[in-house]
Amino acid sequence: MACVSDMETSLPVLSKQSKCEITRKDRNNDGKTDSIFYDHGMADGDYEYVDTDCDGYYDKKIIYGIGVFEKKVMIKVD
Ligand SMILES: [Ca+2]
Ligand SMILES: [Ca+2]
């Protein structure tokens, strides 16, 4: 079994002071969220979780930083 110790398994908890805007998207129009975008209002602070296969779990985190990179995650869609 692969090491999954550094894999995210829950969505980030935001503080009340956070100006982060969360946008949920339903890309395949089945009524269930399959993408959640965290917009921190900065050019390099945003990230998005995507359920690429629409099975009810986000499996990819896309980080928009000094370049864009992706990370594997396993987070239940709420
Ligand atoms: Ca959907
Ligand atoms: Ca998935």
In the chain, domain spans: 21-76
Report the separation in Å between the CA atom of 13 and the middle of ligand 2, taken as the mean of its atom positions.
21
Ligand closest to Cα of 33 equals: 1
Please report, rounded to a whole number, the percentage of residues in the chain having pLDDT higher than 70: 90
**Segment 25-46, tens digit of pLDDT:** 999 999 999 999 999 886 667 9
Report the separation in Å between the CA atom of 32 and the middle of ligand 2, taken as the mean of its atom positions.
12
Please report, rounded to a whole number, the percentage of residues in the chain having pLDDT higher than 90: 71
* Per-residue model confidence (pLDDT) at position 47: 94
Write the DSSP assignment of 9-71 as a string of letters: -SPPPPPTT---EEEEE-TT-SSS--EEEEE-SSTT-EEEEE-TT-SSEEEEEEEEESEEEEE
Q: How far apart are CA 16 and CA 52, in angstroms?
A: 29
Please indicate whether residue 66 or residue 30 has the higher confidence score (pLDDT): 30
